[in-house]
Chain A
Amino acid sequence: MMAGAVQGLLKRIMPQLVILAAALLLNFIVFPDFFHVDFRNGRLFGNIIDVLNRGAPTALLCIGMTLVIATRGIDLSVGAVMAIAGATAASLVVDGHGWFTALIGALATGAICGFWNGILVAVLRIQPIVATLVLMVAGRGVAQLITEGTILTFLNPGLIRLGAGTILGIPTAIVIWICLGAFVAFAVRRTALGMLIESIGINEASSRLAGINSRVLLVCVYLVSGLCAALAGVIVAADIKGADANNAGLWLELDAILAVVIGGNSLLGGRFSIVASLIGALIIQSVNSVILLSGMPPEFNLVIKAILILGILVIQSPKVSYIWYMLRASGPQPQPDRKTPRPHRATEEKTQ
């Protein structure tokens, strides 16, 4: 049972792993010391650690984004929520509260933002792009309201440790995103939650008829996305020791969506894999790192990302997969992929 699940997961994330390996290999080619990891001043040092560390905000965002996209939605507001949460944490710390209060406060604001999005989508039935656009437009204004138009800087060691500190030599940000990712992936796969979310994404009306409380579930999904964004916002703020309402999390929502798409999750909802999305986030960060290490001007970053998206779009497109299917079917000897044993497929059908 467990072995089958692991095998299934491996099969699912294989394309992403291959791309990640290729990206890492490119890194290695342009910078042979890439995989070198040191232990200095009680902390792990190395380029690969940097990739994991710098990828933390995107990775955190894409955990929530995967769930939202699986319900056939999208959350454009995560970047703005990051700014709001970072501003909340910074202003609480500046007012003399402890780092823990600040963290809870930031998470609570993130939850409120997510709840607002969820209500708009699930209760008022507004299309997700539009519903989250409202907060995306207004959110940075709200964050400015909290910081009163300045970049709030702070020196609270507890809060800074969240972004720049270490746990057992590993940077805290890495520990946070890996733990949260593992927890959420486990929670949705070991319970029926994941299946219920997928069923909403595939056909909401019929899943409601089947007795799924889609409203509550939708609100929860956006709530989780808000919480993840808040956590990412706190980490970014702690990293630069200040809350910048204008630039914190700017365009990160697009990176998060890109990570989810690279993770092979369809934007049309349905089956999802959080692990694959997380690998997608790492791929993005590795590509960034290749561009930096190779000394290519960072201007090319966006062009490369665009080409990456276009390539994935072509692969994912229903039309192309149909043509591919027809080509294979009309071949001289139809040889479907039978490397995987037949019984495995039979059990898969049974579980569906």
Chain B
Amino acid sequence: MIRSTHLPLIVTLVTFVLAFALCGSQYPSILSTRVVANLLTDNAFLGIVAVGMTFVILSGGIDLSVGSVIAFTGVLLAVILRDTSMHPLTAFALALVITTAFGAAMGATIHYLEMPPFIVTLAGMFLARGAAYVLSTDSVPIDHAFYDTLQGIYWKAAGGGRFRLIGGLMVVTFIVGAVVAHRTRFGQNVYALGGGAQTAKLMGVPLAQTTIGIYAISGGLAGLAGIVFSLYTSAGYSLATVGVELDAIAAVVIGGTLLSGGYGFVAGTFFGILIMGLIQTYIVFDGTLSSWWTKIVIGMLLFAFILLQKGLTWATTVRKRRATGSAALS
């Protein structure tokens, strides 16, 4: 029996399988492990950020600051490694602490000042990007033996695909995220909050703790994504990852999470990321299409999934109204 709340997830899965099959039938080499491994590696930072975004959107909020936080983390790491003799692992820990605290501060502002998350995280976006600029406006290269070691770690699969460390980190993040969302009290609180703050409060959900926790997770994961991005590019640049927050939101929506909060799955976001990556891979394979087609196709997918969500919500209300027999207004 398929529940209507599972339908968006199933549609996402079917879309992905169909798209993959379609690409595979046109370019058989897309099915190789190399392409799959690159799909994971190239989208690692986006995937990690999207896990955090899934939590935020599940709770009915939005976090526009993540792109800037990634850039800030990258620049911070690069500057630390250039100017001090700190070990990268210490620097990673420092970056994670800063970004988590930053997210928690935004969550606290949202909760205690009762402001819309949209505008608070917008301020956070300016602040993080500005802080990155203040640290350095140039692209700072990272040249450290430990970075080379981390970049050198990979598992070579049959067919020549190299599953690198950062791709694995993304998959681990998704698994941990899914467990937290579906199997812990905190996860249930997030869903309850997305269902309606008032109801959640009456149910005894600690609103302040949950809101601050959600944005701290989003900030911390953005920091982790920043670390991954710096491993991916071996540099820190304050103008990098502009607009990543939109890609992350798009991935979450394509993954079947309702933007009004309360419904959705972390696993769906994973397939959302893969679909977006697949579009890019297809365009690279095709060679004649320009890269801006990615944007248009993602926009169309976004629209299609929003329509699907609307249709589902509408169907549910109609069914409820029929079941209760009440003639609601409008």
Q: Which residues of chain A have a CB within 8 Å of any CB of chain B?
A: 74, 124-127, 129-131, 133-142, 144-145, 149, 205, 208-209, 245, 254, 257-258, 261, 267-268, 297, 299-307, 309-310, 313-314, 316-320
- The residue from B62, B120, B292 contacting A313, defined by CB atoms under 8 A apart: B120
Residue of B nearest to A124 (CB): B310
Return chain A residues, CB-CB under 8 Å to B299.
134-135, 137-139, 141
Return chain A residues, CB-CB under 8 Å to B294.
141
Closest 7 CB pairs of A and B: A138-B299, A302-B130, A141-B295, A303-B130, A299-B133, A306-B126, A306-B127
Bound-complex Cα distance A74 to B122 (A): 13
Number of residues from B at the complex interface, CB < 8 A: 44
Judging by beta carbons under 8 Å apart, are A254 and B306 in contact? no
Q: Judge if B2 is at the interface, Cβ distance under 8 Å.
A: no
- The residue from A124, A133, A208, A300 contacting B302, defined by CB atoms under 8 A apart: A133
Judging by beta carbons under 8 Å apart, are A149 and B290 in contact? yes
The stretch among B109-117, B182-190, B217-225 that forms the contact with chain A is B109-117
Q: B66-102 toward A: CB 8 Å interface, digit per residue (1/0)?
A: 0000000000000000000000000000000000000
Residue of B nearest to A131 (CB): B306
Return chain A residues, CB-CB under 8 Å to B109.
310, 313
Q: Judge if B330 is at the interface, Cβ distance under 8 Å.
A: yes
Judging by beta carbons under 8 Å apart, are A313 and B113 in contact? yes
CB distance from A324 to the nearest CB of B (A): 13
CB distance from B311 to the nearest CB of A (A): 10
Main secondary structure of the interface of A (DSSP, over half): helix
Judging by beta carbons under 8 Å apart, are A309 and B123 in contact? yes
Judging by beta carbons under 8 Å apart, are A141 and B114 in contact? no
- The residue from A133, A268, A314 contacting B113, defined by CB atoms under 8 A apart: A314
Known: A258-B122, A306-B123, A309-B126. 8 other contacts (CB 8 A): A137-B295, A138-B295, A140-B295, A141-B292, A149-B290, A314-B113, A317-B113, A320-B113
> Can you give 20 contacting A-B residue pairs, CB < 8 Å?
A124-B310, A126-B306, A129-B62, A129-B259, A130-B259, A134-B299, A134-B302, A134-B303, A135-B299, A136-B246, A138-B296, A138-B298, A205-B330, A209-B329, A297-B134, A300-B130, A300-B134, A313-B109, A316-B115, A319-B112
Known: A134-B306, A138-B298, A300-B134. A306 touches B116 (CB 8 A): no
- The residue from A74, A138, A142, A144 contacting B118, defined by CB atoms under 8 A apart: A74
Main secondary structure of the interface of B (DSSP, over half): helix
Residue of A nearest to B290 (CB): A149
Return chain B residues, CB-CB under 8 Å to A139.
299
Return chain B residues, CB-CB under 8 Å to A303.
126-127, 130-131, 133-134
Bound-complex Cα distance A320 to B114 (A): 9
Q: Which of A125, A126, A130, A254 has the most CB of B within 10 A?
A: A130
- The residue from A209, A301, A309, A318 contacting B122, defined by CB atoms under 8 A apart: A309
Judging by beta carbons under 8 Å apart, are B259 and A313 in contact? no
CB distance from A155 to the nearest CB of B (A): 26
Q: Judge if B162 is at the interface, Cβ distance under 8 Å.
A: no
Return chain B residues, CB-CB under 8 Å to A209.
329
Bound-complex Cα distance A258 to B118 (A): 12
Bound-complex Cα distance A310 to B123 (A): 7
Residue of A nearest to B62 (CB): A129
Return chain A residues, CB-CB under 8 Å to B292.
140-141, 144-145, 149, 245
Known: A125-B310, A313-B113. A138 touches B300 (CB 8 A): yes
Residue of B nearest to A302 (CB): B130
Residue of A nearest to B123 (CB): A309
- The residue from A129, A302, A320 contacting B126, defined by CB atoms under 8 A apart: A302
Residue of B nearest to A139 (CB): B299
Bound-complex Cα distance A258 to B296 (A): 27
Bound-complex Cα distance A245 to B291 (A): 13
Return chain A residues, CB-CB under 8 Å to B329.
205, 209
Q: Judge if B137 is at the interface, Cβ distance under 8 Å.
A: yes
Known: A208-B330, A300-B134, A306-B130. A257 touches B295 (CB 8 A): no
Q: Judge if B129 is at the interface, Cβ distance under 8 Å.
A: yes
Residue of B nearest to A316 (CB): B115
Judging by beta carbons under 8 Å apart, are A299 and B303 in contact? no
Known: A134-B299, A138-B296. A267 touches B116 (CB 8 A): yes
Return chain A residues, CB-CB under 8 Å to B5.
none
Return chain B residues, CB-CB under 8 Å to A142.
296
Q: Which of A245, A300, A307, A309 has the most CB of B within 10 A?
A: A309
Bound-complex Cα distance A133 to B295 (A): 12
Judging by beta carbons under 8 Å apart, are B119 and A313 in contact? yes
Residue of B nearest to A303 (CB): B130
Return chain B residues, CB-CB under 8 Å to A306.
123-124, 126-127, 130
Return chain B residues, CB-CB under 8 Å to A136.
246
Residue of A nearest to B311 (CB): A124
Q: Judge if B227 is at the interface, Cβ distance under 8 Å.
A: no
Return chain B residues, CB-CB under 8 Å to A299.
130, 133-134, 137
Return chain A residues, CB-CB under 8 Å to B118.
74, 129, 267
Return chain A residues, CB-CB under 8 Å to B129.
302
Residue of A nearest to B124 (CB): A306
Return chain B residues, CB-CB under 8 Å to A310.
109, 123, 127
Return chain B residues, CB-CB under 8 Å to A137.
246, 250, 295, 298-299, 302
